A and B are shown apart, each in its own frame.
Chain A
Amino acid sequence: MIERLLERASRRADGGADALWRQVERTSVAFEWGRLKAAGVSEEAGVNLRVRHRGRVGVAGTTAVDASPDDVLTRALASAELGEELALAFPAPASAPPVATFFQPVADASLDRLMAMGRSLLEQLEREGCRVNVTIEREIAETRVANSAGATGAYRSTAIGVSAELWRIAGDDVLAIGDVFEAADLPGDDALGALVQSVNLRLEHALRVVAPPDGALPVVFTPAGLSALLLPVTQALSGKAVLQGISPLAARVGELVFDSRFSLTDDPLRVGRAASRPLDDECVPSGTTCLVQRGVVERFIYDLETAARARTQSTGHGQRTIFGKPVPGYTNIVLGEGGREKGEGGDALGGGLLRDVRDGLLVDELIGVGQGNVIGGAFSHPVALAYRVERGAISGRVKDAAIAGNAYDLWKRVGGFGADARWTGARYTPSVLLDGVSVARR
C-alpha cells in the first residue's frame, strides 16, 4: 500500500515523500462496578502521507484506505502549497537495532483468558463498601514506514493494559484508588499480584482521614505522583519547545541544572514495553537518548522537521498518527540509574523514604496537572490522594490540602530516591523525596 503511494508521490512531489501505514486490532473486556459488562473489538487501518514539493512540506491522512490513493496525495500536495519552506531531508536506509515488540502470548490470548484475568482481579479487590471497575485491553498492531530515499521499516507489536479502580463512597467522602499494568507482554501472576497489592496498600492507609500539615515541608512523591514534577522537565527537553523559545533549558546544555543524582533517559529499546520500537515513525533507527546525565542537561529530542529547523539531526523521536503531521514525542522515560529494581523498603509506600520524614506528605495524585504554564516549572495543585507522614510513618489520608512549588528549584536538591522503581505508563521512576515543598491547608 505505502510503496504504491510513495511511487505515485515521488512522481508528483519533486522533493520526495514519506508515509506511515498502521493497522491496529484491539480486544477489550470491561467490568463495570463489579460486573462484567462488555466485550469489544476494533479494527482500524490508515495512512499518513507527507510530501515535499517546491521546497514546501505538506501532510494528509485517511482511514478511507480503500479509496483511491490519489485523493490523499492530492490533499498532501494542497497542504504543501501552503506549507513553509523547509530543508527537510528524508533519511537514507539504515539498519534498525533489533528489539522485541511482538509477544505471541499476547496475540494468542483468548477472550476467555482476558475475562478470567479480570475476574481474578475483581475477586481479589472487592470488599464491603467498595465498588471496582476493571478494564483489560489487548492490542495487536502492524506498522510500516517508508520514504522516497529508500528507507523502509516494518514491525508487528503487541500491548496489553490492565486497569483496576476501586471506589469507596462514604457520605460525601469519595475515594478512588487505581493502578494500571501496561506492557508489551502478558502480565504474570506476580505482576497482577503487585497491582492488587498496590491498590490495597493505598486503600488501607486512606481509611483514616487526618488534618494536613502546613508550611514548607518534605514531600515524598510516589512514581504516579511525580507527574507534576517531571512534566515541566520533559516539556522543556523537547526540541519543539526549544525552537519556540519557551524552554527554560534551551541555553543550558552542558550545565549542571539538577541534583547530581538526577538523570533522565529516553529508551525506545526497552524489552517488553509497549512504547518500544526498532525505528521511529519517520524511518529513523531507534537509539537510547540521554537527556540529563547526573544533573547536566545533555540533549533535546527532535523529529525530522524540528531537527531541520534547528539545523541538527533527528534523535529518532518522530511520532505520527493517521491524522496530522509528525511531532517529537518520547517513548520510555527512565529516571535515575534505571536498572535498579526493588530494594529494601521497596514494597512499602514511599519506597523506604518515609523513615526520614518527621512531618510531611506522601503525594500519589494531584488535581489539575498539565494546566497552566507548565513549562515554567511553577505548579500549584490540590491533592487528590495524599497521606500525612509523621515521625517516619503514614498517619492517615489528607483531604483538603494543596501543594505548590517550582519543579526546577525542587529538583536542584533531591532528598532521596526510593527503592520502589516501577513503570507508570511509559515512565520508569522510583518514589522521590523533595524538600521544601509548600503545603497549604484549605
Chain B
Amino acid sequence: MIDRLTAALARSRADYTEIRVERTWSTAVTFRGRRLESAAASEDQGGFVRALSPGGGWGVASFTSLDRLEAMVARAVELSRAVRVTPPIRLADVAPHRADAILDLDGDVRGVPIAEKKRLLEAYNGELLAVSDRVVDTVASYRDEVSEYWYINSDGTALHELRPEVTLSGTAVARRDGTIEKGLESIGLRRGWNSVQDKAAGFREAAERAVQLLDAPMVTGGAYPVILDPELAGVFIHEAFGHLSEADFVYENPQAREMMTLGRRFGRPALNVGDNGAAPGLRGTLPFDDEGTPTQNTPLIKDGILVGRLHSRETAATMGERATGNARAISFRHPPIVRMTNTYIANGRGSFEDLIRDVKLGVYACGAFGGQTLLENFSFTAAYGRMIRDGHLAELVKDVVLAGNLFQTLDRIDHIAGDFRWNQMGGGCGKGGQAPLPVTEGAPHVRIEEALVGGDVPAGSA
C-alpha cells in the first residue's frame, strides 16, 4: 500500500501533499434490558488527501473507493490552487519519520466470533440486572475495532499502523414509583479482547449506585467548597480548559490570542496541567498524529501559569511555536484538526482526607454523566455526590450539577491531592463535527474552594 501511495503522491504538483488510507473492521453489540438490540459487524475503508499549493489554501479530498486515489490527489491539488490565501499557509518543520507500528492488539478482536462478544456483554448486562429488582432497565454496549492505517506525506514521512480499540459501557436504570436514577460504567481501551475480561465488578457497582440514589436526597443548591473526584476533575480540565488550549482557537484571532497569552496566571501555584499523547497504554495515545508528527507530553499550565498550547503544524508555524503532535482526525472522512490526546491535572500532595479535613459543609462530586463548555462557561452533571460535613463524608446526594465560569473556577482550585489516576473511559471528544475521538483524562482529587452547585429542578409531569 505504501508503494501505491508513494506513486500517487509523486504525481502531485503541490508543494505539500499528504495521503491517509484506513481500513477498519468493527463489531458493535447492544443490549437493552434483557433484549439484544443489535449485534453487527461492519467494514469501513477510505482515503484522504490534503494538498497545499504555493500561495494556495488547503485542497482536501476524501473517498471510499480506493480506485479513485489518483484522481482524488489531482482534485485536491486543483482545489488548493483555486483557493488564494495571503499571507500563505506555512507548516512547522517536523523531521520525516518512517515507521511500521503494530500496537499491542492484546487478543485481536477480529479473531473472536461475534457470538462470543455477545456472551461477554450479556454476562455484564446480567450483572446490572441481578443487583436488584429495582433495576428496571439497562443499556449495555460493546464495541471493538481494528484499524489498519497508512500515512505518507511529501516531507518523506511514511507510516503504517495497526490500531486496536475496545469500549464497554453499561447504564442501569433504577426506578421506584416516579423516581428514576441511573448508574453508569464505562471502559475504553486502546487494546483488545483480553483487556475486557473480568470487568463484572464495575458493572455491579454502577447498578448498586443507581439503586442507592433512589433514596438519596437532591443536593441543596448553593455555593460550596467542592471536591471533584479524579474522574470529574479529568472531565472538567478537558472540557473547561483543554479546548481553550487548542491553538486553532487562538492562532488567527488576536483577541483570543490575548486572552490566552503565555505567561498569564490561570490558577494557584499548585495547578499543573498538560496533555500527553505519548503516555503508554492509553486510549488517546498513538505514536504519531495524523500529520505524521510524533506525539509528546506538552505542559499547558505550570505552577499556575499558562506555558503551552496544543498545535498542528499550521498553527505552530503561524505562532512561531513547535508542532506538538495534536493534529488528529477521527477518520479518513475528515481533515486533521487540533485535538487533545490524554489530558491531565498533575499530582499534587497529600490524600483525599487532607482535602476534606477542614471542610465544614461541602460537596464531594463524583463521576460524570455529561458536561458542556460554551466559551468561558461550563456545566457538568456529576454521576452522584456525597455531602461533606465537619471534615467527614456524609450522606449520598443526587442531581449534582456544577456550573460556572472557567477563569474564576480554575483560580479557586486551592488543593490538589497526590492520588492521580487516568480514567480509562469510553465515549470520546467532539469538535468541528468530528466525534467521538478517543481521548483519556486523568487527575487526582481536586478541591475548589467555592463553586456553584445546582440541584433543585422543579418537579413536573406530562
Enumerate chain A interface residues (CB-CB to B < 8 A). Answer: 29, 32-46, 58-67, 71-72, 75-76, 78-79, 81-84, 111-112, 115, 129, 131, 167-176, 236, 244-246, 248-249, 252, 257, 322-325, 365, 367-368, 371-373, 376-382, 384, 399-400, 402, 404-409, 438, 440, 442
Contacts and interface: CB of A to CB of B under 8 A. Distances in A.
Interface of B: 23, 26, 28, 32-33, 35-36, 38-46, 57-68, 72, 75, 79-80, 82-85, 89, 114-115, 118, 136-137, 180, 182, 252-253, 255-256, 258-259, 333, 335, 369-379, 381, 401, 403-405, 407, 452, 454, 456-462
A162 to B, nearest CB: 15
Given A37-B58, A65-B64, A245-B136, 16 more contacts: A38-B58, A41-B75, A58-B40, A71-B43, A79-B114, A81-B115, A82-B114, A176-B375, A322-B42, A325-B40, A368-B372, A371-B379, A377-B460, A377-B461, A380-B457, A442-B404
A221 B378 CA distance: 21
A129 B136 CA distance: 54
Contacts of A322: 42, 44
B457 A379 contact: yes
Contacts of B462: 236, 248-249, 252, 257, 377, 408
Contacts of A81: 115
Given A368-B381, A372-B369, A38 B57 contact: yes
B115 A82 contact: yes
12 contacts: A34-B252, A38-B83, A39-B82, A41-B79, A45-B65, A46-B64, A174-B256, A174-B259, A373-B180, A379-B457, A404-B454, A409-B458
Contacts of A79: 38-41, 114
A368 B41 contact: no
A345 B182 CA distance: 45
Contacts of B23: 64
B39 A83 contact: yes
Nearest to B115: A82
Nearest to A41: B61
A440 B456 CA distance: 11
B56 to A, nearest CB: 9
Which 6 residue pairs are nearest across A and B when measured between Cβ atoms? A406-B460, A40-B60, A169-B255, A248-B462, A371-B370, A174-B375
Contacts of A58: 39-40
A69 to B, nearest CB: 12
A172 B259 contact: yes
Contacts of B115: 81-82
A44 B454 contact: no
B457 A378 contact: yes
A167 B256 contact: yes
Contacts of A176: 374-375
Contact of B38 (A83, A382, A438): A83
Given A44-B64, A371-B370, A372-B369, A404 B375 contact: no
A44 B61 CA distance: 11
Contacts of A44: 46, 62-64, 333
A39 to B, nearest CB: 4
B259 A169 contact: yes
A378 B399 CA distance: 11
B372 A367 contact: yes
Contacts of B38: 59, 79, 83, 324-325
Contact of A402 (B58, B61, B180, B403): B403
Nearest to A379: B457
Contact of B83 (A37, A67, A78): A37
A36 B89 CA distance: 11
